[in-house]
Structures are given as C-alpha cells and as structure tokens.
C-alpha cells in the first residue's frame, strides 16, 4: 500500500515540467533532483495566475506571481524547493484528517534529493550567489541547506494520501557544518544533496553534502522534529530503513550519539548547576585574569581582551518577506544573518578578511514570528594559533538571537549559533614572526563557566580543533585576487535581483544605457551645449488594489506599506528625474556622475500607507545650481498628499571626480517659479550659515551660540548627576548612550546601484528600520514615522565595505497637537570600517522623527511624558544644543525638557501647526538671527506682532534695544485679575527681530533695484525667461 502511494507520488512529481524560472524536477536512480536550465532567468517561464496560499497553522502563506514563483527575498533554489512542497500540500490542507499511525510503523528507504547549481552557464544564478570578493556567498548557501533539509524531511513523512494531515516539521538543531574549503568558486557547477540517515519517535537526522570540482566541499547534519499542526504535541514519523553499508554505518553512529546525548541531558537535569572541580578552577583562573584587565588596565597583559569588547549587535524587525511556509520566520534567513554578523565580528577582531572553517552547533529553541523585534549579539569567545597552518589564527565566535517584546517588558533567547574562522596573523615589523592572536577573557561568571565547559578540561573542544584538510594555496590565491574578481561583475540593470523593489528595478532598467566601454569611447560633455530645460514631471503608479504580488513586496508586519521600501523607490525615482534632466541617454558625449548629496526633509502626512488603495509617486526638478539639482518628490494616495520630500543631487565628472555643470532650469508655471525662488533663498541662507560658522569656529560641527553653550553645560551637569548618583538621579531621565543600537554588516553585490556603489535607497531603508527598532525599544509601543528630518551622503559606500550603523535618541517631547502622543528624534550614523588600514570614517548621517503612544499613569490614567534623554559626552551635548538650543528654531519643543535648574522659559503665543515638527520649524526658524532675511516670506509673524503691538512694534523694539545691554534676568509676569485669563506677552527676541524687519526689507529692496539695473537675475523676482537663459548659457554664466 505504502509502496503504491510512493510510486504515485513520484509519478506526480515527475510530471511537473518546470518551476522557478528554469529550475526543473529531474528523475532517475534512487532519488530525484532540481537543476537550473543554463541561462535561465528568474523572469522567464509561465504558469498560474497570482494567488495567496495558506498553511495549516492559520498564518498567511506566500503570494505567487504569474510565473507561479513565490514573491519574496529568497534565493532561487529556496523558492523552487518551497514551491515543490506547496504543490504537494495545497489540496491536502483543504481536507485535513489525522494520520494513520499504522502507516508510520512501515519503514522507508532513504531517498536522496539533489540540487544542481549551473554556475558555469547561468550568469543570473551567479549574480544571486556572488559575494563581495567574487566567490559564493556562504550565507545564501546556508539558506538553501535549511530549505533542502526541510524538503527531505517533508518527503520522508509524506504518506502519499491527500486526505491525511501532514506533520509540522521544525528545525531543531544543526550540529556541525564542516567546510573543506573556504572558497566556493562561481566558475564551476555545484551540487547539493541530502537524505535521511536516522529517525526516532518524532525526530530525524538529515545529512547534507555539497560537491564542487569533483570533491566534497561541505557536509552538514540537521535535526528536525515533528509536531501535530493542531495540538503542537510531538507526533510519530515514519522510520527509515537504511540500505547499503554507508547508510547502515551512519544510522548506527547517529543512534549511539543521540542515545548518549539523551543520557547527558537527563544527567544535567538531575544536577543542573553541577560542574567538575577542574572546570570551576579553569573558569576562576579566567575570571582572575579578567579582573586584572578590568581593574588594572595599565598593568594588565596587553595581549588580553575582554569578551564584551569584541561584541557586535544587529537589531531589526522581522518582515513578511522573510517567512517560511508555516508563516514563521525562515530558519535559513536567521542562519544567514547570524553568519554574516559573526563574519563581521571576526573581521574586526583579526584585522584581515577571515575564512570560514566550521559552523558549529546551531540551536533553534523557539520560533520567531513576523513582526518580532529580534537582536543578534556576537562575541569572540576563544582564540588560538592554528596547529595545522603556521601564521594562521583561529577564532570561535558565538551569536545569540533574542526576541524582545517592549509592550510586555519581556525578552527571551530564540537561537544560538557558533562559528569557527581562521585568519592571517599580524607580523612583527622587525623579525617578521607571526604575532599570536589576543586572548579573549570572559567578563562575567556565566561567560567563564560557558567557556570552561566548552574549552576547559573534558570540554567538547578541550584541544584546539584541527583545521580541515584543504588546499591552502587556493585559499590564499582567492584572497590575493579578490580585487580582480570584481572586474567581471555583471551589470546590475540586466538582472532581476530579489533585494530591490520591483519599482527600483524597473527604474534602473529605464534610466541607464551606458557601459564602461561606451563611457571611455565618447568625449566629455561640453557645458556650453546644455540648453536650459523646463521641469518635467515623472510618475510611478502602485496598483495595490489589483496586484497581489506587488502588495506582498511592500507589506509590513502590520499589514501596511513598508516605509523602508518606499524610501528606496524615492531615491530611485529621484535619480531617474535627475538623469532625464541631464540627458543621460544621449550617447554622443559622456554624462556626469550623479550622486545623492542629501535629503533635506521627508514629511509624512499620514503614518500609515494602505495596501488596499493605489498609490502614485511623482517627482520633478525645482532648482538647479552650477553643479547641483534639487528634486521635489510627492506621494499621493486616496486623493490626498501623503508624503513630500526634497532631494539634492550633485554632478561629478566620472574620470576626474570634479564638479560637472548641469543644464539650467527654466520654470514654466507660477508654482514652479515660486518653488525655484524658495529653493534659491534656502540655498543662499545655507551657504551663508556654513561660511559664517567656518569663519567663527573653523568648523561647522560645534557652531553653537553662547546661550546654546550654557544650555549644553547644564545638560552635561544633569547627565553627570545621572551617571554618578544613579540611586538619587531623576527617574524620568536616561543617558543617551543607553538608547543606542548598532547594526554591522558587509555590503554585498546584490545591494549595488547602476554605478557599482551601494544603493543610497538601501542605506536609507536600513537606517530607517534600525531607527524604528530604536524607537520601539525606547517607547515600549510600536512607533510610526512622522518625518525623515535630514539625510546626508558624505562619502560613497563600496561593495565589500564593513558598514556600521549606530543610533541614538537625541531628544524627546510631547506632541503639541495630541497630548497622548510622544515624539523622539533618532539619529543614525553610518561609518565604514577598514580593519586592514585600521581606519574608520563616517559616510552617512540620518535623522528620523518617530511618533509613539505615551504610557499612562496606572492611578489617574493620564499620559506620562516621555523620558528625557541626556547627552553622555560633550560632543553629544553640543549637537543637542545646536539642534534644540536657543536660536535653533526648536526652542518650543524643549520647553518641557529643560534642566530643572535652568532659567524658566517665557510664555509664547503661537497657534499649534498642523504638522507639529515641519511647520513649527519653518515659523520658529524665522526668529533666528542667522535667518532674518527669511522674514520677508513670513507674513504670519507680521500679523501676529501687529495684533499685539498696534504701533508696529517700534516702541517695544526700542525698549528692547535700550535694555539689551543690561540683560536683566527673567521676571515672572504679574498675576492676572480674578476671573481673567493671563495675557501672553511676546518674547523680547521676536520684538527685536521685528524691529530689524524694516531694515531687512529696505536692504532687500536696494539689492533688487541694483540687480534690475544691472540686468542680473536675483531670487526675489521671477527666473529669467527662456530666451534670456539661452543667451546667458551661450555667453557664459554671470
């Protein structure tokens, strides 16, 4: 009966002609395999209509496109494997009944499943698996390992009866993944195979092997457990009947190992905290050396390093695109993220690019759900010189994954990973001898016991693990030729990569027809031939209401549009607008290199973008300078404006990297002319402010007024009290460093743009999602985006760079419009670290404003103000003072957060703006002395002062000017008569500003008259006409 079912199942499987864009199901021998057709692209093939499928757990399943491919960020192999399992389970899930226990008693022979990677003939497949150094990306292979193991386990438990309910198979552990070589090449085909080698009552062991170049390059052992999908209890599985000498030997060996492990677990449960005397002594010796390093750093051994000093963290929210068939987060995705973080930790520790030796035991303790806030923390636990290869060091890196639930104030460990890396030891400059690696010491007693149990007497790794036999010549050759490997990286626009959104991929394909040969063959573009151009608007439509797969690409864990993906598309569409303005498609001359310089502001008028309604994104050029361009972006949905943004691009010569002239802009409509003048004034003010700051202090970093410096000193005094007297400090305050999160990763080729650099939209998405996680942990409730305040691109990021992103909550305040909502300004700083050169530099800065619901008092139910954040260093204090101190324009947002001993703030009569941050900034910034010229465009301030002072404010201004030299301290206003409301007096600074109003207007009128007499364009009137602009371009700009 079972044999007949198996034959029917195999025949049905072999009848499937093709899946996943060329990955075919092949039969023959004692198993089956998946192979990719040479040259197959993930965009080819045909099949079913788009649909959404569901699994037995009730969680929403994957969405399939018109090619019957899973929509998501998985590798092509993983998609093909999951599609095979979907084909076998869709009909069965509709009529699920308990399985027949008698069928499980019948044994099955092991069925071998093989995956073929035709790298030699498929450039698309090579692009999916390429790492920054031109070899196979190990993290992607780990994803395929977990997917293939799941397919093998599912096939073994399949009874061939469509009326029975299949078990829920969960990855329990990965014992060891041994790599015979650290360099898997993309020039040779590769095969991945797997089969069941042992079964228990409700668990099974699966052996996986990877072959390339005629030899076995990788072996792994994965353990799966079977659960009933309804009750969640263990369920029996079909036993395996080994055939052949090798299968019998593996079955017996795994039986002995599992029996010994079960006995060891029982013994540990009986004496949980019992450790041997030798292990305790070894751990105490490690702790003694660690105390010396911590308490006597000047006298301690310089070759010692505390374990905490090697730590790296990655925090992110799990997205729907990362889930598996059962609606949980894919275990292979977690393995890849943990491996790449461990690789970065070893890279920073060693100072040279590490190579993977072994992936030690991986444990899956609890499932991870979509929307969970997960943190990966890596630590180098042990190092030693390699016993096999002189001049090499070995590092053991441990990664722990934990899920945090801020609403419940709860956190638990979900996964643990361990990796072994080797690296080149540093050499003595005098003798040339290899310097042993630094010894890592535990920081806590728990860490000391864990290291002692693993590496101490009787531990699993008591002796230094021997390096696997492999060709060291090939490994070193790959390291030396890493630079040349990137020369033949295919053009990004030719491939449909899964790491970009569909809109970004389409925009890239439309915008750039150039290759390196074309760029070198044509002459540079002559600036005199660039005629003035009117603004041209480009639009992108998102048909969410009718396109299931598009919704799946942009879905967040909470069913809304994923803001990070929108940021990627904003950068892509902006670049297309700039390319259209600069005639990049003109193949007669070499175009400029267009680089994102900054994002001034992205205002979100709605914190939630729906996936049920269509959306439109549009952009157009609003201002041009000599070599810079400003682009305004808008996002509309449901008939209203939901988002506005302003991007600045700069043009550079591709060979000399010098500024390249761009075509002048000729506005046509009144709206375009107004926006042109507004941007001209804003850019003039910004240049003047930078020049004034550089002239006064030599640097624009700490350009703070004397009042701001005093305010920064008060903040530092409060922070010192918080740090030195924690028991007596204000409980509503928090040090800024305590809000920090970090993400470290290596930039991969799949994240590059059309110029071969890392895509700016990808950096914005990663920074936004890290800032979102930071605000989530700070607020204790799910935050929402209010505004992307400022984004600065200082230096480009290249493929293979080790990028570190660090967040800080700079400031918090209560929303002026809604007292139940709080606001937090989160700053993200991205820096590229080069361990070989011992250098690091900041490449990008991001500022995000996040909103969140305030916690409520349990007694009264009133909203509790957000915690105050105090700077930890002088640099942080000066940055906060420059952003929120006197003269910054944000004084009203810091009124409730002043230090308790600072001078009281004067009451200010102001109407609450509709957008509390953006509108308040624009109105309040006009009060700054650096921006008095902007008073011309602030009629609301004039009306406000006229209402309070009928004489125009001259008497008040004279009185303020007469008393400005005395600088009297703040005085409290007299109490109002009974039954009357207190009258709000206008601050002295506004009165003085309005006194300078007439003088500013007079100076502006004089400059306008002089400009008109000289027949020169100025920002206070309309831009030159098309004829005048053409004449100016022909004769040279004035």
**Residues paired with 741 in a beta bridge:** 807
Indicate the pLDDT class of residue 115, thresholds 50, 70 and 90: confident
Higher pLDDT, 64 or 844: 844
Minimum mean pLDDT range among 320-324, 838-842, 972-976:
972-976
Indicate the pLDDT class of residue 267, thresholds 50, 70 and 90: low
Task: Write the CB contacts of 874 (distance below 8 Å, at least 6 apart in sequence).
Answer: 712, 716
pLDDT at 376 over 70: yes
Indicate the pLDDT class of residue 895, thresholds 50, 70 and 90: very low
Mean pLDDT for the stretch of residues 781-810: 91
User: What pLDDT was estimated at residue 316?
Assistant: 92
Give the rounded percent of residues in the chain with a pLDDT score beyond 90.
23
Task: Write the CB contacts of 501 (distance below 8 Å, at least 6 apart in sequence).
Answer: 553, 554, 565, 568, 569
Indicate the pLDDT class of residue 587, thresholds 50, 70 and 90: confident
Task: Write the CB contacts of 487 (distance below 8 Å, at least 6 apart in sequence).
Answer: none
Instruction: Calculate the average pLDDT of the chain.
Output: 74
Indicate the pLDDT class of residue 465, thresholds 50, 70 and 90: very low
β-pairing verdict for 868-870 and 733-735: parallel
**Residues paired with 616 in a beta bridge:** 541, 636
Minimum mean pLDDT range among 161-175, 213-227, 771-785, 942-956:
942-956
pLDDT at 1018 over 80: no
Helix (H) or strand (E) holding 357: strand 355-359
Closest CA to 226 of 242, 207, 205: 205
> Cα separation of 308 and 290, whole Å?
11
Architecture of domain 275-478: Roll (3.10)
Which SS3 state, helix, strand or coil, does residue 1038 take?
coil
DSSP string of 539-589, one letter each residue: EEEE-TTT-HHHHHHHB-TTSSB-HHHHHHHHHHHHHHHHHHHTTTT-TTS
User: What pLDDT was estimated at residue 512?
Assistant: 56
Which SS3 state, helix, strand or coil, does residue 378 take?
strand
Q: What angle do CA 763, 769, 772 make, to 5 degrees?
A: 140
Q: Which of 262-271, 495-504, 578-587 has the highest mean pLDDT?
A: 578-587
> Cα separation of 968 and 962, whole Å?
12
Closest CA to 145 of 401, 396, 326, 339: 339
Mean pLDDT for the stretch of residues 155-172: 79
DSSP letter (8 states) at residue 927: G
Indicate the pLDDT class of residue 846, thresholds 50, 70 and 90: very high
What pLDDT digit, counting tens, does each position of 926-983 carry? 334 344 344 334 444 344 444 444 444 445 444 444 444 444 444 445 555 555 544 4
Which SS3 state, helix, strand or coil, does residue 467 take?
coil
User: By the 8 A CB rule, do 240 and 254 touch?
Assistant: no
User: By the 8 A CB rule, do 40 and 21 touch?
Assistant: yes
Q: What angle do CA 416, 420, 426 make, to 5 degrees?
A: 135
Higher pLDDT, 280 or 631: 631
> Cα separation of 180 and 650, whole Å?
48
pLDDT at 604 over 80: yes
> Cα separation of 866 and 465, whole Å?
51
User: By the 8 A CB rule, do 921 and 1000 touch?
Assistant: no
pLDDT at 351 over 80: yes
Report the interhelical angle of 988-995 vs 954-962 (nearest 10°): 110
> With respect to CATH, is domain 502-600+618-666 assigned 3.10.129?
yes
Domain boundaries of the chain, sorted by first residue: 1-171+182-215, 275-478, 502-600+618-666, 997-1035
Task: Write the CB contacts of 624 (distance below 8 Å, at least 6 apart in sequence).
Answer: 581, 630, 662, 663, 664, 665
Higher pLDDT, 296 or 248: 248
Detail the DSSP E strand segments found in 365-391.
373-385
pLDDT at 96 over 80: no
User: What pLDDT was estimated at residue 1011?
Assistant: 57
pLDDT at 31 over 70: no
Domains 275-478 and 502-600+618-666 share a fold: yes
Q: How many CB atoms lie within 10 A of CB 14?
A: 13
What pLDDT digit, counting tens, does each position of 529-581 carry? 778 889 989 998 999 998 888 888 888 998 899 999 899 899 888 988 988 88
DSSP letter (8 states) at residue 108: B
Indicate the pLDDT class of residue 873, thresholds 50, 70 and 90: confident
Mean pLDDT for the stretch of residues 12-31: 35
CA atoms within a 13 Å half-sphere pointing along the CA-CB vector of 900:
9
Mean pLDDT for the stretch of residues 888-900: 50
Higher pLDDT, 47 or 532: 532
Closest CA to 849 of 872, 830, 823: 823
Report the interhelical angle of 76-94 vs 2-14 (nearest 10°): 130
Report phi then psi at 660, rounded to 5.
-115, 130
pLDDT at 996 over 70: no
User: By the 8 A CB rule, do 652 and 658 touch?
Assistant: yes
Mean pLDDT for the stretch of residues 776-799: 91
User: What pLDDT was estimated at residue 270?
Assistant: 55
Report phi then psi at 85, rounded to 5.
-70, -35
pLDDT at 4 over 60: no
User: What pLDDT was estimated at residue 825?
Assistant: 93
Report phi then psi at 947, rounded to 5.
-70, -35
pLDDT at 375 over 60: yes
Q: How many CB atoms lie within 10 A of CB 662?
A: 24
User: What pLDDT was estimated at residue 461?
Assistant: 66
User: What pLDDT was estimated at residue 648?
Assistant: 92
| C-alpha 77 chain-centroid distance | 24
pLDDT at 5 over 50: no
pLDDT at 676 over 80: yes
Indicate the pLDDT class of residue 33, thresholds 50, 70 and 90: low
Q: What is the pTM of this model?
A: 0.72
What pLDDT digit, counting tens, does each position of 638-663 carry? 989 999 999 999 988 877 788 888 88
């Amino acid at each position: 009966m079972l044999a007949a079912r198996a034959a029917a199942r195999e025949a049905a499987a072999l009848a499937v002609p093709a899946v996943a864009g060329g990955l075919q199901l092949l039969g023959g021998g004692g198993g089956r395999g998946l192979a990719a057709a040479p040259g197959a692209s993930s965009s080819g093939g045909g099949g079913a209509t788009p649909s959404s499928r569901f699994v037995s757990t009730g969680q929403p399943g994957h969405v399939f496109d018109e090619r019957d491919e899973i929509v998501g960020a998985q590798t092509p192999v993983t998609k093909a494997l999951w599609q095979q399992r979907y084909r076998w389970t869709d009909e069965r899930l509709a009529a699920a009944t308990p399985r027949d226990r008698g069928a499980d008693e019948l044994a099955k022979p092991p069925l071998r499943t093989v995956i073929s990677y035709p790298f030699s003939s498929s450039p698309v497949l090579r692009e999916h698996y390429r790492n920054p150094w031109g070899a196979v990306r190990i993290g992607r292979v780990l994803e395929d390992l977990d997917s293939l193991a799941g397919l093998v386990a599912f096939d073994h438990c399949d009874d061939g009866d469509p009326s029975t309910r299949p078990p829920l198979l969960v990855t329990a552990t990965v014992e060891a993944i041994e790599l015979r070589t650290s360099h898997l090449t993309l020039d040779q085909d590769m095969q991945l195979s797997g089969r069941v080698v042992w079964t228990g009552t409700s668990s099974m062991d699966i052996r996986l092997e990877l072959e390339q170049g005629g030899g076995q390059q990788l072996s792994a052992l994965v353990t799966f457990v079977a659960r009933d999908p309804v009750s969640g209890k263990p369920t029996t599985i079909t036993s395996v009947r080994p055939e052949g000498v090798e299968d019998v030997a593996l079955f017996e060996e795994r039986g002995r190992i599992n029996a010994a492990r079960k006995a060891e677990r029982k013994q540990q449960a009986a004496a949980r905290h019992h450790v041997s005397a030798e292990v305790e002594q070894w751990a105490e010796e490690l702790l003694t050396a660690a105390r010396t390093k911590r308490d006597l750093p000047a006298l301690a051994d310089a070759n010692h390093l505390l374990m905490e000093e090697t730590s790296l963290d990655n925090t992110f929210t799990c997205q729907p695109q990362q889930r598996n068939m059962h609606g949980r987060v894919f275990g292979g995705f977690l393995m890849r993220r943990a491996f790449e973080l461990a690789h970065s930790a070893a890279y920073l520790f060693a100072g040279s690019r590490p190579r993977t030796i072994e992936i030690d035991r991986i444990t899956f303790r609890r499932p991870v759900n979509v929307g969970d806030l997960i943190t990966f923390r890596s630590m180098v636990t042990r190092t030693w010189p390699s016993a096999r290869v002189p001049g090499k060091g070995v590092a053991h890196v441990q990664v722990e994954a934990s899920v945090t639930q801020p609403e419940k104030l709860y956190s638990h460990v979900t996964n643990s990973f361990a990796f072994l890396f080797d690296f080149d030891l540093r050499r003595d400059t005098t003798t040339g001898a290899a310097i042993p690696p630094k010894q890592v010491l535990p920081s806590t007693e728990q860490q000391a016991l864990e290291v002692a149990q693993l590496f101490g007497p009787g531990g699993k790794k008591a002796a230094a693990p021997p390096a696997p036999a492999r060709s060291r010549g090939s490994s070193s050759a790959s390291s030396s030729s890493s630079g040349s490997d990137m020369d033949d990286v295919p053009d990004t626009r030719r491939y449909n990569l899964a790491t970009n959104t569909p809109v970004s991929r389409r925009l890239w394909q439309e915008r750039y027809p150039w290759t390196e040969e074309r760029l070198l063959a044509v002459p540079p573009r002559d600036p005199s031939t660039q005629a003035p151009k009117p603004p041209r608007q480009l639009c992108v439509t998102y048909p969410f209401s009718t396109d299931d797969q598009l919704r799946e690409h942009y879905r967040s864990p909470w069913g809304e549009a994923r803001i990070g993906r929108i940021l990627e598309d904003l950068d892509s569409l902006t670049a297309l607008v700039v390319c259209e303005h600069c005639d990049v498609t003109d193949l007669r001359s070499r175009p400029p290199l267009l680089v994102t310089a900054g994002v001034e502001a992205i205002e979100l008028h709605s914190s939630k973008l729906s996936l049920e309604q269509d959306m439109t994104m549009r952009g157009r050029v609003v201002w041009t300078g000599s070599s810079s361009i400003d682009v305004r972006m808008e996002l509309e949905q449901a008939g209203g404006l939901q988002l506005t943004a302003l991007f600045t691009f700069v043009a550079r010569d591709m060979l000399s990297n010098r500024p390249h002239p761009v075509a002048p802009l000729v506005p046509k409509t009144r709206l375009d002319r107004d926006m042109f003048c507004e941007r001209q004034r804003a850019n003039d003010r910004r240049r003047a402010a930078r020049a004034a700051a550089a002239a006064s202090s030599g640097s624009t970093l700490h350009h703070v007024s004397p009042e701001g410096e005093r305010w920064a000193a008060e903040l530092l005094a409060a922070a010192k009290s918080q740090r030195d007297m924690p028991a007596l400090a204000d409980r509503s305050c928090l040090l800024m460093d305590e809000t920090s999160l970090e993400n470290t990763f290596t930039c991969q080729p799949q994240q590059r743009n059309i110029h071969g650099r890392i895509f700016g939209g990808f950096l914005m998405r990663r920074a936004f999602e890290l800032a979102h996680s930071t605000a989530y942990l700070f607020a204790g409730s799910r935050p929402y985006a209010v505004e992307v305040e400022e984004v600065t691109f200082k230096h480009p990021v290249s493929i293979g760079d080790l990028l570190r992103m660090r967040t800080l909550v700079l400031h918090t305040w209560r929303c002026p419009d809604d007292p139940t909502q709080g606001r937090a300004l989160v700053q993200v700083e991205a820096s590229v670290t080069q361990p070989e050169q011992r250098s690091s530099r900041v490449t990008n800065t991001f500022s995000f404003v996040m909103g969140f619901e305030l916690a409520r008092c349990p007694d009264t139910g009133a909203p509790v103000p957000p915690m105050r954040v105090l700077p930890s260093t002088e640099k942080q204090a000066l940055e906060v003072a420059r952003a929120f101190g006197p003269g910054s324009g944000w004084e009203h947002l810091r009124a409730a957060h002043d230090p308790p001993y600072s001078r009281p703030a004067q009451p200010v009569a102001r109407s609450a703006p509709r957008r509390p941050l953006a509108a308040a900034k624009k109105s309040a910034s006009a009060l700054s002395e650096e921006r008095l010229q902007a008073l011309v465009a602030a009629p609301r301030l004039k009306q406000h002062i006229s209402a309070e002072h009928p004489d125009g404010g001259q008497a008040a201004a004279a009185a303020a000017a007469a008393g400005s030299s005395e600088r009297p301290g703040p005085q409290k206003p007299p109490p109002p008569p009974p039954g009357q409301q207190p009258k709000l007096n206008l601050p002295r600074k506004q009165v003085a500003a309005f006194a300078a109003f007439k003088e500013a207007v007079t100076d502006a009128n004089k400059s306008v008259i002089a400009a008109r007499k000289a027949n020169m364009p100025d920002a206070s009137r309309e831009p030159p006409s098309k004829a005048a602009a053409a004449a100016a371009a022909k004769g040279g700009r004035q």
